[in-house]
Structure 1
Amino acid sequence: MNATAKMVDVQGLTVDFKGPKGPIRAVDGVDLDLRRGETVALLGESGSGKSVTLRSLMRLHPSSAKIGGKVEVDGRDVLKMGSRELAGLRGPVVSMIFQDPGLAFDPVYRIGDQIVEAVRRHEKLSKAEARKRALELFERVRIPSPDKRLDNYPHEMSGGMRQRAMIALALVCRPKVLLADEPTTALDATVQIQVLLLLRELQRELGLAVVFVTHDIGVAVEVADRIAVMYAGRIVEMGPCRDVIRDPRHPYTQGLLLSRASHAPTPGARLAAIPGAPPDLSDLPPGCAFRPRCGHAIDDCAEAAPPAADVGPAHFARCIRTRRAAEAFESVTA
């Protein structure tokens, strides 16, 4: 397989949902590409459009949602697929690790039976052959006593164990693209690290292309090759992980970084916080959506949504004052 080929190619993605006062645009003009063996992290606060973007790659939105733009996965046009084609895409080509494995599994069926059913839906295997594959994956994700755990019901597993089983379910049909929707949010710190290390190891071993959604910039640093920062349905900054972390050019990215404990001026000091709250998507402010919360805003910021400005190799930010923002960040972190 060509390692440089695009496994995901998204251009001008828009997603509109019905609202009480008219359509609400949850995703607005997102461009995203992903190659084999690469991880892109979608980073931002709740409501920024991360999960909506992720689910668009499998067309998991309700039928009332209106999706526009271009969405290709492994060279296939997802937006033009019928229900049968989508069923063939979900699992063997692209698969998802959901945020809450407790809701992803049916509580009245054994976990092993659910994984076996997923395999047999897409491949002509006997129950014994499908169970053997499920067992191999349980061993790979390091679930102890895997043969016994396959016969567990979801409630008989701990949160960390269910998350590992969810990873096994996502990988059982050998997908090329893996979508991870905040898969470690509900886990304690120790288990979170174990799951992140496991995902990174499996990606290297299987050559997966991964889109990882998170609101935790520390998690993004651990898993991502590139980071795409989302705000109000748009990618406001994107670039290689090292560049975005060391030289953030959008005030929102800077605010996320400065709110981390590692950026506290002294131990125990109050952390910096981004003022205000994310905007109402049904009533966005004119111009830059981040303007009401930005400390560098000027009158021109209210004129129009800023275009993407290149600030480095494969690194862009949607801010008309990228140089001023960079200088301000350097003075705070110096």
Structure 2
Amino acid sequence: MNTASPTLVQIQDLNVQFASGKKVVQAVSGVSLSVAKGEAVALIGESGSGKSVTLRSLLRLHPEHKTTIKGQIQVAGQDVLALRGGALNDFRGKTCAMIFQDPLLALDPVYPVGAQIVEAIRRHERVSNSEAQQRALALFERVRIPSPEQRLKAYPHEMSGGMRQRAMIALALACNPQVLLADEPTTALDATVQIQILLLLRELQRELGLGIVFVTHDIGAAVEVADRIAVMYAGRIVEEGTAEQLIRSPRHPYTMALLQSRSHGAMERGQPLQTIAGAPPDLTAIPPGCAFAPRCHLATAACLQAVPEPVTLAPGHMARCVHTATAAAYAPQILAAA
């Protein structure tokens, strides 16, 4: 993080539980994370690792009657967990906005996309309808939607997947938020459009000075967008550092496994895709110790005793593993294979 820039997001010891019948799902455990103005932070990991739950907690989007959230969440100086009613609604979109994974589901199918952007602007700001329409047009131009005047009148189903995602980005930017959340915004797109959207997000982040939290299961996408990367497993951040640190000097076996399972390296060499053995743990019964131990080739009895404490490896680089030194010896061959 650029220490000269003000901190926009500060999460401290976040714990999120969901009621599931008679069981409790421990979706997020002890997550602490910060994002500075003009910084992009990626959360990566397999499905069920707690990435999207952490992201949605920043906007309080979980059903309150089934969710218990403990810890602290500060966004642009506001205590998110203390917001209620109108204050929470004002916060959503104005201070912090989200780009959802599937814009076809996130956008209202019975209204033109332009009308939805106009409505968002007028909900948060006292402007005329014509002024809001002009701003919507400018947003479409900024995210490079072709023929923007016509597309403002289009319904979501009349747009291509890439165009819908650009419209979703425009909607998220409509009220000039300070923090932008992106929940796997390229998953449903083909490879060429994915790259275009990632480059657009990076450009907008730098141009507008946004703080971005970007969720993805693709470590390659994280490198394209993020200044820092936090690797999540079973609801915890198990490694965190700059994009360069995690790509060049990974120290947690799970991070190494994610790097090794990247598809493009295997395809270039004509080799089978590497997979991570086993499956993530049941979040209603997380095993003691390191949750990754049952799938880890470096695991020993010490890994099963207690959750590993964070080990500082370099300024800004942390890993929760009792075998960081051993992992360092394995890193070169893992990186060569990736």
TM-score between both structures, scaled by the size of structure 1: 0.97
Q: 1:43 — aligned with what?
A: 44
Gaps of 5+ in 1: none
Q: Amino acid of the residue matched to residue 178 of structure 1?
A: L
- 1:288–1:306: 8 Å Cα contact kept in structure 2? yes
Contact 2:10–2:75 (8 Å) recurs in 1? yes
CA distance in 2, matches of 1:144, 1:333: 40
Q: CA deviation at 1:262?
A: 4.9
Classify the secondary structure of the residue corresponding to 1:91.
Answer: helix
Match of 1:12 in 2: 13
Q: Give aligned-pair identity as a percent.
A: 62
1:139 paired with 2:150, answer no
Equivalent-residue separation in structure 2 for 1:252 and 1:158 (angstroms): 36
Query: Does the aligned pair in 1 maintain the 2:248–2:335 contact within 8 Å?
Result: no
Structure 1 distance, partners of 2:146, 2:74, is 38
Aligned counterparts, 1:34-113, within 5 A: 34-64=35-65, 65-113=67-115
Deviation at 1:21, TM superposition (A): 3.2
Tell whether the 8 Å contact from 1:14 to 1:68 is kept in structure 2 after alignment: yes
1:302 is aligned to 2:304: yes
Shift of 1:263: 4.4
Give me the TM-score of the superposition, normalised by structure 2. Answer: 0.96
Match for 1:91: what amino acid?
G
**Residues in 2 aligned to 1:136 and 1:265: alpha-carbon distance in whole angstroms:** 41
Q: Which aligned pairs between 1:282-301 and structure 2 lie closer than 5 A?
A: 282-301=284-303
Please give the per-residue CA displacement for 1:191-243, whole angstroms capped at 9, x wherever unaligned. Answer: 11111111111111111000000000000010000000000000000011100
What is the alpha-carbon distance in structure 2 between the residues aligned to residue 303 and residue 200 of structure 1?
Answer: 41
Q: What residue ranges of structure 2 are gaps of 5+ in the alignment?
A: none
Task: Label 1:194 to 1:75 Cα distance change in 2 as closer, same or farther (>3 A).
Answer: same
Check the 8 A contact 1:74/1:93 in 2, yes or no: yes
Paired residues in the alignment total 333
Distance 2:335 2:46 in 1: 22
Distance in structure 2 (CA, Å) of the matches to 1:121 and 1:104:
18
Structure 1 CA distance for aligned equivalents of residues 150 and 282 of structure 2: 48
SS state at 2:269 partner = coil
Q: 2:278 aligns with which of 276, 279, 284?
A: 276
- The answer for the alignment partner of 2:177 in structure 1 is 175
Q: Does 1:166 find its partner at 2:175?
A: no
Q: Contact conserved, 2:256 with 2:334, CA < 8 A, in 1?
A: no
Residue 326 (structure 1) shift? 1.5
Partner Cα separation in structure 1 for residue 20 and residue 146 of structure 2: 47
Contact 1:3–1:36 (CA under 8 A) maintained in structure 2: no
The equivalent of 2:239 in structure 1 is 237
Aligned residue for 2:24, secondary structure, equals strand
State the alpha-carbon separation in 2 of the partners of residues 332 and 283 from structure 1: 31
Q: CA deviation at 1:332?
A: 4.0
Does the alignment pair 1:323 with 2:325?
A: yes
Cα distance change, pair 296–152 in 1 and its aligned pair in 2 (3 A) = same
Q: What does 1:124-273 align with in structure 2 at a 5 Å threshold?
A: 124-264=126-266, 267-273=269-275
- Is the 8 Å Cα contact of residues 180 and 210 (structure 1) preserved in structure 2? yes
Q: Please say if residues 228 and 237 of structure 1, whose CA atoms lie closer than 8 Å, have aligned partners that are also in contact.
A: yes
The structural deviation recorded for 1:333 is 3.9
Instruction: Give the C-alpha shift of residue 265 in structure 1.
Output: 9.9
What is the CA–CA distance in structure 1 between the aligned matches of 2:304 and 2:14, rounded to whole Å? 24
